[in-house]
Amino acid sequence: MGRIVYEPIGTIHTPFKTPEGVPIQSSGGKDIEGIAELHEEFQQGLSDLDGFSHVYLIYHFHLAEGYSLKVVPFMDSSERGVFATRAPRRPNSIGLSLVRVKAIDGNRLYFVGVDMVDGTPLLDIKPYVPGFEAYGDIRIGWLKRHIHKVKHFKADDRFRA
Amino acid sequence: MGRIVYEPIGTIHTPFKTPEGVPIQSSGGKDIEGIAELHEEFQQGLSDLDGFSHVYLIYHFHLAEGYSLKVVPFMDSSERGVFATRAPRRPNSIGLSLVRVKAIDGNRLYFVGVDMVDGTPLLDIKPYVPGFEAYGDIRIGWLKRHIHKVKHFKADDRFRA
């Protein structure tokens, strides 16, 4: 299968105009509010989402250019395989954040848990359902020694093109 | 921002040749094994992933054609907004599954938790890290009355084009 073409369903608005200073994960931005604004033609697709406390936002890292298969992630000083990180400069620059829904009003979804830059193109929204998710023991590889830092870390410029 | 173009990084191999009978969520396929096979050029990106017990697979629902903003999901008899469901016929047909890593060997990631059809184009892999994820009380909207069924439900043909 060759190229896959998507079109944004809307735009994510956040207080961060540049990548520097953005929390590196949504848990680090849990007090920061953002808005996922859908193009009006998609508004009807938000029905019934107000009953869910959390949703996944799937979006495009529009500032990422190119990619590396090995990256030095935030919170670490060693090179890691890019698929073992959430770094934006990936072969397909897809971002995934689990955020907390505050309210839905028309074509706007208000959320907390901002870890994306203002103007990020939104590709999809999916409900978070714990029963669909992880089971069994959980191990977190190289992140184990660093996970305590996640709430305080902010992005720097290392993933600039 | 206009069109966004991705190219598959590989292919997901599963025992399911057609959508009918596929578990509707990865938790329903937790004993079923699949393989995410990357194109060899991306193999290096899998480094360090063997320390993680779970990963997100992000893929393209290649059999979905068109979309509806309101769908009757599996496990329900009412129409719901498509973004409050995981139905494949979405404006951007992106699939997301949290699966359990069994082994990584060269360019192949062996996993359990299959809820995709054989030949699914793979777009991205991300590590699952609970500390990055949901916080606060969790509510699951319309699914609350149905969640007990998820482990037993299989797909039918309702999302065929």
| pLDDT band with cut points at 50, 70 and 90 for residue B34 | very high
| pLDDT band with cut points at 50, 70 and 90 for residue B72 | confident
Residue A81 contacts B where some CB pair is shorter than 8 Å: yes
For chain B, give every domain's residue range: 10-149
pLDDT of residue A161: 47
Q: Which residues of B touch A128 (CB under 8 A)?
A: 134, 138, 140
Distance from CA of A155 to the nearest CA of B (A): 15
CA–CA distance, A161 with B120 (Å, rounded to integer): 30
Q: What is the ipTM of this complex?
A: 0.88
Interface test with A, best of B132, B146, B148, B150 (most A CBs within 10 A): B132
CA–CA distance, A26 with A160 (Å, rounded to integer): 20
pLDDT of residue B151: 60
pLDDT of residue A149: 65
* Model confidence at B161: pLDDT above 50: no
Who contacts A120 (Cβ-Cβ below 8 Å, separation ≥6)?
A11, A12, A14, A59, A60, A61, A62, A95
Q: What is the mean pLDDT of chain B?
A: 86
**Strands A54-60 and B108-112: what pairing?**
unpaired
Give residues 15 to 34 of A whose Cβ lies within 8 Å of B: 25-27, 30
* Model confidence at B134: pLDDT above 70: no
Phi-psi region of A148 (alpha: psi -120 to 50; beta: other; left: phi over 0): alpha
CATH of the domain spanning B10-149: 2.40.30.70
Who contacts A155 (Cβ-Cβ below 8 Å, separation ≥6)?
A19, A20, A21, A22, A23, A24, A74
pTM score: 0.88
What's the residue count for chain B? Answer: 161
Please give chain A's pLDDT, 161 residues, in tens. Answer: 589 999 999 999 999 998 888 887 777 777 889 999 999 999 999 999 988 888 999 999 999 989 999 998 777 778 999 999 989 999 999 999 999 999 999 999 999 988 899 999 999 999 988 766 655 666 777 767 666 665 666 666 666 54
Q: Which residues of B touch A45 (CB under 8 A)?
A: 69-70, 81-83, 90-91
pLDDT of residue A78: 86
Best-predicted range by mean pLDDT among A1-5, B42-46, B82-86? B42-46
pLDDT of residue A56: 94
Distance from CA of B159 to the nearest CA of A (A): 16
Q: Which residues of B touch A74 (CB under 8 A)?
A: none
Q: Decide if B51 and A6 are in contact by the 8 Å CB cutoff.
A: no
Who contacts A54 (Cβ-Cβ below 8 Å, separation ≥6)?
A98, A99, A100, A101, A127, A128, B134, B138
One-letter amino acid of B50: D
Count chain A–chain B contacts defined by CB atoms under 8 A: 250
In contact, A36 and A109? CB cutoff 8 Å: yes
Q: Decide if B127 and A135 are in contact by the 8 Å CB cutoff.
A: no
